[in-house]
């Protein structure tokens, strides 16, 4: 696990100063506290910070091919590196280490850009091809590892995190208003956008080539290309159990101790059981975070799974003093991000890092096998539309808006309000994202200042969702929704959160569900194997029957969240009042201070739950303050 940076000048006769590369890479010390490596070539500089996991003594980067015409730095792990290495040795390549990263430069030399088809892992890489005088950079298929880039008048700059790019004075910091609108709508920004107009995320499963001053971005893998096949239930369950088990075993590759994030839910429990049964899995530690609020606390379930798996279990509690972490984490993220589960993710990562360098997670199971409430909400919406005219939906929304929300995490009242609100205020064309967005058009009309609204006159904040739903090209509605969530919600929210919060503590995380074989297997299965008769993750549960206890498989999903709506009324209210003070909001010129004040008053009085919007506004204000917007 590492942090990487690169500079490629448009004019390759222009030297790259060592100090420029060093300033960039040293902003990423948290990603790789163990050592630093770099290479300077005419017009090119590559560097990395290393978290040593595999071949601790001999895995120093950059790696070069035999004649040093090609150089690579990479972040992540290549799980099938030994098989690729054996093949390359048979073709005459010579290696200097046991490192998984070294196979990348030789595989590229042998196969060109198609080498990505042969690689299984999580990674972001930057490779200089001196023969072509081109820079090739790529991200893994799911997007576990990040990569950002910008093209300036001088050339290409790239890095694992935006903060490294911002050390360069030539990098434009102009705000992207459409990205801000995405953030306030979804709580995150969708690739390839970032909050900075000139800085781009390389999307998951894509690679770029920078040559002769031009960037070309191409996709090399797409879950939409997987053909659905006819499965019997028994065959599908057997294949899933076998494939996931192989993924877990492959991701145990490490020269340091590994651990496990345990929530007590199906996905992390499945990983834990398979770890227990794998060679070397008996020495694993597990880590969980809980809450004093009983409706949010899942520690008892996690303890039950830990006992079943035989792990050395560690747990902690998230308390309202997360305000002390607010400044640190919001600034660390480099751009606005308001998924409140970033706090427990950071805390469980910090706790785990005291014991291990690597932790496996259950991330990806919901997006592959239908774990979210929103999928059932969309199915119910189809029935609702046939029974209730639009006028009745609007009337129901108006009535439910008068019912105060409860303090429970979910509950019948909160679910009903959320369901009808999504029907009334979000377009049907975005399917399940009607319940995965937090600011509709009417609310924006009141909240956004005229200048902000004017900047968005030709924008369509829902286009990325519609495009993803259409790109799936499947008649199977659920698989289209899963594809959209794999492409957007997982890649730009969940995996961003997990990567940044774990790497902030110098911890590597791995997600067996995001092994390419597991993903392709999942998308080869029809939707009715994933949600059946109201049972979500149906085929995953069937695959785990007899392996994971039924009481865990059949427990309702809660999700990894925090009681932010209560905390904003009490412990975090002083922070909210400071960041969203009317004069402060007005000075920014983007948000209406009167509407912001109304939202605060309603929320604190308990008449409505505006926690998502208010927390997002707080995050944006603190980010804007830090980055001198």
Summarize pLDDT for 160-216 with one digit per residue, the tens. 999 999 999 999 999 999 999 999 999 999 999 999 999 999 999 999 999 999 999
Mean pLDDT over 421-435 rounds to 88
Asked whether residue 581 is domain-assigned, the answer is yes
CA end-to-end span of the chain, whole Å?
32
In a domain, 435, yes or no: no
Evaluate if residue 114 carries a pLDDT over 60: yes
Q: Mark which of 199, 221, 243 sits at the end of a domain.
A: 221
Question: Does 278 share its domain with 149?
Answer: no
- pLDDT, tens only, 575-609: 999 999 999 999 999 999 999 999 999 999 999 99
Q: CA-CA distance, 560 to 538, in Å (whole number)? A: 21
pLDDT of res. 295: 52
Which pLDDT does position 38 carry in this prediction? 97
Report the pLDDT value the prediction gives residue 222, as an integer from 0 to 100: 98
Residue among 359, 402, 300 at smallest CA distance from 607: 402
- Which residue has tokens 């609100």? 421
**How high is the pLDDT of residue 200?**
98
Residue partners of 398: CB distance under 8 A and separation at least 6: none
355-372 mean pLDDT: 96
Given a cut of 90, is residue 398 above it in pLDDT? no
Q: Give me the number of domains the chain comprises.
A: 3
| pLDDT tens digits along 517-546 | 999 999 999 999 999 988 999 999 999 998
Same domain for 544 and 596? no
Nearest residue to 444 (alpha-carbon basis) of 462, 467, 431: 462
Same domain? 23 vs 149: yes
Q: Are residues 262 and 364 in the same domain?
A: yes
User: Which domain range does residue 8 map to?
Assistant: 2-221
State residue 563's pLDDT score. Answer: 82
Q: What distance in Å separates the CA atoms of residue 60 and residue 97, rounded to the nearest whole number?
A: 9
Asked if the structure places residue 396 within a domain, the reply is: no
**If pLDDT is split at 50, 70 and 90, which confidence band does 128 have?**
very high
Q: How far apart are CA 332 and CA 261, in angstroms?
A: 22
Question: How high is the pLDDT of residue 164?
Answer: 98
Angle ∠(117,120,124) on CA atoms, nearest 5: 90
User: Given pLDDT bands bounded at 50, 70 and 90, which one contains residue 296?
Assistant: low
Strand order in the sheet with 312-318: 312-318, 285-291, 258-261, 358-360, 508-510
pLDDT confidence of 297, banded at 50, 70, 90? low
What DSSP letter does each residue of 5-53 carry, written as one string?
EEEEESSTTSPPPHHHHHHHHGGGGGG-BSEEEEEEETTEEEEEEE---
> Which pair of structure tokens corresponds to residue 373?
């409430």
Q: Indicate whether 423 pLDDT > 90.
A: no
Q: What is the pLDDT of residue 413?
A: 66
User: Which pLDDT does position 84 carry in this prediction?
Assistant: 98
Task: Among 52-61, 241-250, 286-295, 369-378, name the one with the lowest average pLDDT.
Answer: 286-295
Domain boundary residue among 553, 572, 598? 553
Is the per-residue pLDDT at 304 higher than 70? yes
Residue 378 lies in a domain: no
483, exposed or middle or buried, with CB in 10 Å at 0-12, 13-18, 19+?
buried
Backbone φ and ψ for 124, nearest 5 degrees, come out as: -135, 130
Cβ(21)–Cβ(47) below 8 Å: yes
Q: Please state which of the ranges 425-429, 538-542, 557-561, 579-583 shows the lowest mean pLDDT.
A: 557-561
Three-state DSSP class for 372?
A: coil
Q: Which of 553, 577, 610 is the last residue of a domain?
A: 553
Could you give the residue ranges of the DSSP H alpha helices within 401-462? 411-425, 441-447, 450-455
Classify residue 423: in a domain, yes or no: no
pLDDT digits (tens, 9 = 90+) for 452-473: 999 999 999 999 999 999 998 7
Regarding whether 267 and 134 lie in a shared domain, the answer is no
Work out the mean pLDDT of the chain and round it to a whole number.
92
pLDDT digit string, tens, across residues 225-235: 999 999 999 99
Stretch 374-403: mean pLDDT, rounded?
74
d(CA 89, CA 95): 8
| Angle, CA of 215, 190 and 225, to the nearest 5° | 75
Q: Are 197 and 172 in contact (CB under 8 A)?
A: yes
Using an 8 Å Cβ cutoff, are 434 and 428 in contact?
yes
Q: Return the pLDDT at 80.
A: 97
Residue 182's domain is classified under what CATH number?
3.60.20.10
Give the dihedral sign, CA 229/232/238/241. positive
> What percent of the chain is modeled with pLDDT above 70?
94
Confidence class for position 396, pLDDT limits 50, 70, 90: low
Is residue 397 over pLDDT 70?
A: no
Highest mean pLDDT among 133-147, 322-336, 382-396: 133-147
Check residue 492 and report its DSSP letter.
I
Return the axis-axis angle of helices 266-277 and 299-309, rounded to nearest 10°: 20
Domain shared by 282 and 363, yes or no: yes
Pairing relationship of beta strands 214-219 and 312-318 according to DSSP bridges: unpaired
Q: Supply the DSSP symbol for 524.
A: T
pLDDT, position 514: 98
Q: Are residues 307 and 340 in the same domain?
A: yes
Point out which residues pair with 7 in neighbouring strands. Answer: 45, 157
Shared-domain flag, residues 314 and 189: no
In this prediction, residue 518 carries a pLDDT of 98
Both tokens of 435, joined, read 């319940």
CATH of the domain at 483: 3.40.50.620
Task: Determine the pLDDT at residue 553.
Answer: 87
- Say if residue 233 is in the same domain as residue 344: yes
Q: Are residues 65 and 100 in the same domain?
A: yes
- Dihedral (CA of 176, 178, 179, 181) sign: positive
- The verdict on 166 and 268 lying in the same domain is no
Cα distances (Å, whole numbers) of residue 587 to 51, 175, 360, 624? 42, 16, 44, 12
> In the structure, what pLDDT confidence band is assigned to residue 263 with cuts at 50, 70 and 90?
confident
Question: How far is 585 from 600, CA to CA, in rounded Å?
Answer: 13
Which residues are within 8 A (CB) of 495 and not within 5 positions of it... i.e. 6 or more apart? 142, 143, 144, 363, 511
Query: How large is the greatest C-alpha to C-alpha distance in the chain, in angstroms?
Result: 73
Residue 400 belongs to a domain = no
On whether residue 90 sits in a domain, the answer given is yes
Give yes or no: residues 168 and 290 share one domain.
Answer: no
User: What pLDDT is stored for residue 279 in this prediction?
Assistant: 83
Q: Give residue 385's pLDDT.
A: 65
320: pLDDT confidence band, cut at 50, 70 and 90?
Answer: confident
The HSE-up count of residue 185 (CA atoms within 13 Å, CB side) is: 27
Q: Residue 283's pLDDT is what?
A: 79
487 domain residue, yes or no? yes
Residue 293 — very low, low, confident or very high, per pLDDT cuts 50/70/90? low
């Amino acid at each position: 696990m590492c942090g990487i940076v690169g500079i490629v000048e448009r004019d390759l006769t222009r030297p790259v100063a060592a100090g420029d590369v060093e300033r960039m890479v040293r902003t990423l010390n948290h990603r790789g506290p163990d050592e630093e490596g770099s290479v300077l070539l005419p017009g090119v500089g590559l560097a990395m910070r290393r978290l040593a996991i595999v071949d601790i003594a001999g895995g120093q980067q950059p790696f070069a091919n035999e004649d040093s015409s090609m150089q690579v730095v990479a972040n992540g792990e290549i799980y099938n590196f030994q098989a690729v290495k054996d093949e390359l040795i048979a073709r005459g390549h010579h290696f200097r280490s046991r490192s998984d990263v070294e196979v990348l430069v030789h595989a590229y030399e042998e196969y060109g850009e198609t080498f990505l088809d042969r690689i299984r892992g999580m990674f972001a890489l930057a490779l200089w091809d001196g023969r072509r005088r081109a820079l090739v950079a790529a991200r893994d298929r799911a997007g576990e590892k990040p990569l950002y880039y910008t093209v300036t008048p001088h050339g290409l700059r790239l890095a694992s995190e935006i903060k490294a790019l911002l050390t360069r004075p030539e990098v434009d910091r102009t705000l992207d208003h459409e990205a801000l609108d995405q953030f306030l709508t979804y709580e995150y920004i969708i690739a390839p956008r970032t909050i900075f107009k000139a800085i781009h995320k390389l999307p998951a499963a894509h690679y770029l080539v920078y040559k002769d001053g031009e960037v070309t971005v191409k996709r090399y893998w797409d879950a939409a290309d997987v053909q659905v096949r006819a499965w019997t239930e028994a065959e599908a369950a057997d294949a899933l159990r076998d494939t996931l088990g192989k993924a877990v075993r492959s991701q145990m590759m490490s020269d340091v101790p590994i651990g496990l994030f345990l929530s007590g839910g199906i996905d992390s429990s499945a990983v834990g059981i398979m770890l227990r049964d794998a060679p070397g899995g008996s020495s694993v530690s597990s880590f969980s975070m809980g809450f004093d609020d009983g409706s949010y606390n899942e520690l008892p379930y996690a303890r039950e799974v830990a006992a079943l798996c035989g792990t050395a279990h560690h747990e902690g509690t998230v308390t309202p003093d997360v305000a002390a972490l607010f400044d640190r984490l919001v600034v660390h993220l480099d751009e606005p991000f308001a998924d409140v589960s970033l706090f427990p993710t950071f805390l469980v990562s910090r706790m785990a890092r005291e014991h291990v360098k690597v932790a496996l997670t259950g991330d990806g199971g919901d997006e592959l096998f239908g774990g979210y409430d929103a999928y059932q909400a969309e199915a119910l919406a189809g029935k609702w539309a046939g029974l209730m005219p639009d006028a009745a939906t609007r009337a129901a929304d108006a009535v439910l808006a008068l019912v105060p929300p409860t303090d429970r995490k979910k509950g019948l009242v909160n679910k009903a309000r959320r369901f009808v609100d999504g029907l009334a205020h979000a377009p049907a064309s975005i399917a399940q994202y009607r319940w995965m967005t937090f600011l509709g058009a009417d609310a924006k009309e009141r909240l956004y200042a005229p200048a902000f609204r004017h900047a968005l006159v030709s924008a369509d904040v829902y286009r990325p969702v519609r495009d993803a739903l259409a790109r799936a090209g499947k008649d199977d509605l659920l698989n289209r929704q899963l594809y959209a969530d794999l492409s957007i919600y997982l890649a730009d929210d969940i995996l961003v959160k997990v990567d940044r919060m774990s790497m902030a503590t110098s911890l590597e995380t791995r997600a067996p569900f995001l092994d390419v074989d597991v993903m392709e297997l999942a998308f080869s299965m029809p939707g009715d194997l994933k949600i059946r008769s109201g049972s979500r993750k149906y085929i995953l549960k069937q695959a785990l029957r007899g392996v994971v206890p039924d009481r865990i498989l059949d427990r309702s999903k809660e999700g990894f969240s925090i009681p932010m709506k209560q905390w904003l009324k009490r412990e975090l209210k002083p922070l909210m009042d400071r960041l969203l003070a009317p004069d402060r909001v007005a000075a920014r010129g983007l948000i209406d201070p009167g509407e912001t004040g109304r939202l605060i008053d309603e929320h604190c009085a308990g008449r409505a739950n505006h926690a998502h919007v208010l927390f997002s506004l707080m995050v944006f204000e603190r980010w804007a303050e830090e980055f001198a917007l």
